């Protein structure tokens, strides 16, 4: 994961302006869902993961958790296990993104996760 969790790492393959909506999302040990929405603004980049029936609800994934983007396969790889994704803070609404405490909780969780096992 990158030091700035709200920015994509230099080597992950992110190309600014690419629409990632609908792309597959993979943890280190398997498929976890699809991108429901995303933002790629420097310092405030994230994915909203729709995990379907595997996890009810959506998750806010900071861009720094992305380790690799495969444009040909339309797949985003995370530096986390499926269990770590499952335990991540839920994303309830757009108001959450503006809530400083929620954002601090998200950062604390992803910092704790560290690199994928």
Is residue 10 situated within a structural domain?
A: no
pLDDT reported for residue 117: 38
Task: Return per-residue pLDDT of the chain as tens, 117 residues.
Answer: 556 899 999 899 999 999 999 999 999 999 999 999 999 988 889 999 998 876 777 899 999 999 999 999 999 999 999 999 988 988 877 777 788 898 889 999 998 886 543
Structural domains of the chain, count: 1
DSSP 28: T
pLDDT reported for residue 3: 65
pLDDT reported for residue 115: 55
Is residue 5 situated within a structural domain?
A: no
Is residue 57 situated within a structural domain?
A: yes
Q: What is the CATH number of the domain that holds 103?
A: 2.30.30
Is residue 78 situated within a structural domain?
A: yes
Which structural domain range is residue 32 located in?
24-113
The model's pTM is 0.89
CA 111 to chain centre: 13
pLDDT reported for residue 66: 95
Find the angle CA(47)-CA(94)-CA(30) to the nearest 5 degrees. 30
Is residue 107 situated within a structural domain?
A: yes
CA distances (Å), origin 58, targets 20, 52, 93, 94, 109: 16, 8, 9, 11, 16
């Amino acid at each position: 994961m990158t030091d700035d969790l709200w920015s994509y790492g230099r080597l992950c393959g992110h190309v600014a302006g690419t629409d990632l909506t609908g792309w597959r999302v993979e943890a280190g040990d398997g498929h976890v869902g699809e991108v429901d929405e995303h933002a790629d603004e420097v310092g405030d980049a994230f994915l909203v993961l729709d995990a379907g029936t595997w996890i009810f609800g959506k998750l806010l994934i900071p861009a720094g958790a992305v380790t690799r983007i495969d444009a040909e396969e339309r797949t985003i790889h995370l530096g986390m296990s499926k269990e770590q994704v499952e335990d991540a803070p839920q994303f309830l609404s757009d108001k959450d993104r503006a809530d400083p405490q929620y954002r601090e909780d998200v950062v604390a969780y992803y910092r704790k996760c560290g690199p994928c096992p």
